[in-house]
Amino acid sequence: MIQTAETLPALLARVRQCDVCVQHLPLGPRPVVRAATSAKLLIVGQAPGTKVHETGIPWNDPSGERLRDWLGLSPEAFYDTSNIAIIPTGFCYPGRDPKGGDLPPRSECAPLWHAQIFSHLKNVELTLLVGMYAQKAVLGPKMLRTMTETIRAWRSFQPNILPLPHPSWRTLHWARKNPWFEAEVLPELKTRVYATLSAGNT
């Protein structure tokens, strides 16, 4: 008997039922992921926060507002799954770090699911790696020594990948120390996102 390849909706249904690391999740499992085979832009983030866990909507928090501002996108455009796939590094809220902030994304998710999901995203023209953990998961040994060095070398990842910092409130201080980000990277980001999403629509 010939087996039919799994469709992306079927795969995402399996992802959303995942409970591999349930014993480590203080709020329980709620994998948050959005994708369609038609997507031209892929956003790889880190892990949901508590608000995203509650709503099931990725980037539904102040960090998401800042990210949409960086991209030059309205919420309607950002959440258009036919154009934009949103895949985290860790699919569930990992809990609070006693030292402050959230814990890193769970390490089980990316090895288990990324390759399977990415194999369906054959129309992606631009991948944004938002934050250090996303860069580690996707770039592997191609990531430079630090997140800052990786983002500063953004030209070396062109034309298909653009590394970014995580758009949390902490990034405001980071951006003041690294003014080249707003001067060089953000204009390029807006240009590339616009070109990617506009391709084929004119």
| Residue 34 or 4, more confident | 34
At residue 200, the pLDDT reads 65
d(CA 46, CA 32): 11
Task: Give the structural domain span for 21.
Answer: 8-198
Helix orientation angle between 186-198 and 62-71, rounded to the nearest 10 degrees = 80
Residue 72 lies in a domain: yes
Q: Is 31 part of any domain?
A: yes
Is 82 exposed, middle or buried, given 0-12, 13-18 or 19+ CB atoms closer than 10 A?
exposed
Write down the pTM of the prediction: 0.95
CATH (domain of 89): 3.40.470.10
For residues 142 and 138, what is the distance between their CA atoms, to the nearest angstrom? Answer: 9
Residue 81 confidence (pLDDT) above 70: yes
Determine the average pLDDT of the residues in 183-197.
97
**Per-residue model confidence (pLDDT) at position 201:** 63
In a domain, 39, yes or no: yes
Q: Is residue 97 included in any domain, yes or no?
A: yes
Closest alpha carbon to 123 in 6, 40, 195, 65: 40
Percent of the chain clearing pLDDT 90 (strictly above): 91
Work out the average pLDDT over 23-45: 97
- Average pLDDT score, the chain: 95
Cα–Cα dist 78/117, whole Å: 19
pLDDT at residue 14, as a whole number: 97
- Structural domain tally of the chain? 1
Residue 81 lies in a domain: yes
